[in-house]
């Protein structure tokens, strides 16, 4: 059925216009004033509202066997939470570990999403070892439409690769035109510092940050950048958390290295004092890289406003209270991660745009358009244009609410942003022309989401 969104303020990167958007067969076919619609078209009045392109979360974990447990969401719960928060596409990290076969892992991750997600999705393929079959397997995975890789420089002996494996992955990625995303921390230093702190009897969550200090992340970021520089590969640093690591990335950029930067929601809004709270309250805020000293937040906001931080993701990774307590006797056993998929857009809009830290243009770019461009989804996703998929967010800037585990759709018993105010939320969210969300409620079609096939673009 046709859909008309009337009289909203359409916001895309570089443009703000009051107009109607008309959708037929999942695609935007007309944009203009006072458009005609057939009598059977569904009409949405967007007067007084902003109309954004569907938001894209470039870094989520849905299915994740990790740290002796599994992240809590399924694609059913995660996608509904995403949509309620305005995210219409997410890119999941496909994360088989070093002992798994990469291709079998890829099929497993795909099977978990197939027919289950209510929004569209894609994968970054993690390369967690480089053995004789890796090149042919990665070629098959890229040919299947997964045109981005992920490497972990942390998580020694599990997801982590050594420098030789990083070299081989980046070298292949360059030949294939694939962008490589990277978790940048020095695995050896983390392992040694963890052992040292535990030997000193420092076992609580407050020691997680000192076990992976800013210099450890800056070293990983700088090393990744140096490898990119020497191989000519395009790279993307995930969840960059601090000033020192940002300097390492920007220093490389100034040398001409093709490096892009993502920071994730928690690092803009929370600081390390959250992980220093006693007991399980601290454990709820353990993630890697860790929450940092507060002064880093202003650096990240400025970097985001200037565009030196390209995107804002979530690293959505929900572990519940019981799972967090796996680390009650040792911070190294606290499952790393925090949910965020439902709250990213509203919190970024509130604390970025409404608080004057971010203009609307950069907000749309960082939360949607730039990820679409970097990861081969543009202009199908990430903008509002004739021919683009009709993933639209009709956003109500007059809404007022509070983030809480009590009202969330993420499958978890806490929310790391509990009590934070939001000033705006999606009133209507569409996925390829179908209304999936109205006023905070999922009213759409489960399993509507499709895996997005992407071509390599980084030659």
Residues that bind ligand URP (CB under 6 A): 61, 183, 239, 287-288, 315, 317, 336-337
86 vs 266, beta carbon nearer ligand URP: 266
Give least dist CB 243 to Zn ion, A.
Answer: 19
Q: How far is the CB of 262 from ligand URP (least distance, A)?
A: 11
Sole residue written with tokens 């903008």: 383
Closest CA to 1 of 20, 26, 28: 26
**Minimum CB separation from ligand URP for residue 417, in Å?**
16
DSSP per residue over 131-149, as a string?
-TTHHHHHHHHHHTT--EE
Among 183, 272, 316, 344, binds Zn ion (CB under 5 A): 183
Token representation of residue 245: 């690591």
> By C-beta, is 217 or 271 nearer to Zn ion?
217
Helix 187-199 with 214-231: angle, nearest 10 deg: 160
* Sequential DSSP letters for 160-212: B--HHHHHHHHHHHHHHT-EEEEE---HHHHHHHHHHHHHTT--SGGGHHHHS
Dihedral class, residue 390 (left if φ above 0, else alpha if ψ from -120 to 50, else beta): beta
Question: Residue 160 or 449: which CB sits closer to Zn ion?
Answer: 160
| Segment contacting Zn ion by CB under 5 A, of 135-143, 309-317, 345-353, 420-428 | 309-317
Binding site partner of 21, from Zn ion, ligand URP, none, Cβ cut-off 5-8 A by kind: none
| Between 4 and 287, CB nearer to ligand URP | 287
Q: Please give the residue whose beta carbon sits closest to ligand URP in the complex.
A: 336
Considering the complex, what minimum distance in angstroms separates the CB of residue 238 from Zn ion? 6
Q: Does 315 bind Zn ion (CB under 5 A)?
A: yes
Distance from C-alpha of 124 to C-alpha of 181, rounded to nearest angstrom: 8
Cβ proximity to ligand URP: between 21 and 237 the closer is: 237
Query: Which residue, 337 or 382, is less far from ligand URP as judged by CB?
Result: 337
Q: Binds 125, which of Zn ion, ligand URP, none (CB < 5 to 8 A, cut-off by type)?
A: none
Neighbouring C-alpha atoms within 13 Å toward the C-beta of 312:
31
310 binds Zn ion (CB under 5 A): no
Strand positions, DSSP E, 330-447:
392-402, 421-431, 434-438, 441-442
Tell me if 444 sits within 8 A of 107, measured CB to CB.
Answer: no
Sequence-distant (6+) residues with CB within 8 A of 97 are 65, 128, 158, 159
Backbone torsions φ then ψ of 189, nearest 5 degrees: -65, -40
Using rule CB under 5 A, residue 380 touches Zn ion: no
Q: Which does 337 bind (CB under 5 to 8 A by kind): ligand URP, Zn ion, none?
A: ligand URP
Residues in region 15-54 near Zn ion by CB under 5 A: none
What is the three-class DSSP state of 231? helix
Contact region with Zn ion (CB under 5 A), list: 229-237, 291-299, 307-315, 415-423: 307-315
Nearer to ligand URP, 239 or 357 (CB): 239
User: What proportions of the chain, in percent to the nearest 5, are helix, strand and coil?
Assistant: 35, 25, 40
d(C-alpha 395, C-alpha 391), whole Å: 13
- The residue among 60 and 431 lying less far from Zn ion, judged by its C-beta, is 60
**In the complex, residue closest to Zn ion by CB:** 183
- How far, in Å, CA of 158 to CA of 95, rounded? 10
CB of 269 to ligand URP, least distance (A): 16
Number of Cα atoms under 13 Å in the Cβ half of residue 95:
24
CB of 190 to ligand URP, least distance (A): 12
Nearest approach in angstroms of CB 61 to Zn ion is 5
The residue (of 237 and 431) whose beta carbon lies closer to ligand URP is 237
Q: Which of Zn ion, ligand URP, none does 336 bind, CB closer than 5 to 8 A by kind?
A: ligand URP
The three state secondary structure string of 25-52 is CCEEEEEECCCCCCCCCEEEECCCCEEE
We find the least distance from the C-beta atom of residue 146 to Zn ion, in angstroms, to be: 16
Q: Which residues of the shown chain bind Zn ion in the complex (CB under 5 A)?
A: 183, 315
């Amino acid at each position: 059925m046709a859909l008309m969104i009337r009289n909203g303020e359409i916001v895309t990167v570089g443009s703000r216009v009051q107009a109607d958007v008309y959708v037929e067969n999942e695609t935007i076919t007309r944009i203009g004033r006072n458009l005609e619609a057939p009598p059977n078209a569904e009409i949405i009045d967007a007067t007084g509202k902003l109309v954004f392109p569907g938001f894209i979360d470039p870094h989520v974990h849905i299915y994740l066997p990790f740290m002796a447990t599994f992240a809590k969401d399924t694609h059913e719960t995660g996608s509904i939470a995403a949509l309620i928060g305005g995210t219409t596409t997410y890119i999941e990290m496909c994360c088989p570990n070093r002992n798994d076969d990469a291709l079998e892992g890829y099929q497993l991750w795909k099977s978990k999403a197939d027919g289950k997600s209510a929004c569209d999705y894609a994968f970054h393929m993690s390369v967690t070892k480089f053995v004789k079959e890796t090149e042919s397997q990665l070629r098959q995975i890229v040919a299947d439409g997964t045109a981005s890789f992920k490497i972990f420089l942390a998580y020694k002996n599990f997801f982590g690769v050594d420098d030789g494996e990083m070299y081989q992955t980046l070298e292949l990625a360059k030949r294939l035109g694939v962008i490589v995303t990277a978790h940048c921390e020095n695995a050896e230093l983390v392992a040694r510092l963890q052992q040292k702190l535990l030997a000193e009897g420092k076992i609580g969550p407050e020691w997680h940050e000192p076990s992976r200090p800013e210099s450890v992340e800056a070293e990983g970021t700088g090393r990744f950048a140096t490898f990119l520089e020497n191989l000519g590969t395009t790279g993307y640093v995930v969840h960059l958390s601090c000033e020192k690591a940002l300097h390492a990335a920007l220093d490389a950029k100034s040398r001409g290295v093709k490096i892009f930067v993502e920071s994730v929601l928690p690092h803009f809004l929370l600081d390390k004092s959250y992980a220093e709270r006693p007991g399980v309250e601290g454990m709820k805020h353990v993630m890697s890289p860790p929450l940092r000293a507060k002064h880093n937040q202003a650096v990240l906001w400025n970097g985001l406003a200037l565009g030196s931080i390209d995107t804002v993701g979530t690293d959505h990774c929900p572990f519940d209270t019981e799972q967090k307590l796996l680390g009650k006797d040792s911070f190294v056993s606290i499952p790393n991660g925090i949910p965020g998929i439902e709250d990213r857009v509203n919190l970024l809009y509130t604390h970025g745009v409404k608080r004057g830290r971010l203009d609307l243009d950069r907000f749309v770019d960082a939360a949607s358009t730039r990820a679409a461009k970097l990861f081969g989804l543009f202009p199908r996703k990430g903008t509002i244009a004739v021919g683009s998929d009709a993933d639209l967010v009709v956003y109500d800037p007059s809404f007022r609410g509070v983030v809480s585990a009590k009202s969330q759709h993420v499958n978890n018993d806490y929310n790391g942003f509990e009590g934070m105010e939001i000033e705006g939320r999606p009133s209507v969210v569409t996925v390829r022309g179908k209304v999936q969300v109205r006023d905070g409620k999922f009213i759409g079609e489960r399993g509507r989401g499709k895996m997005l096939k992407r071509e390599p673009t980084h030659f």
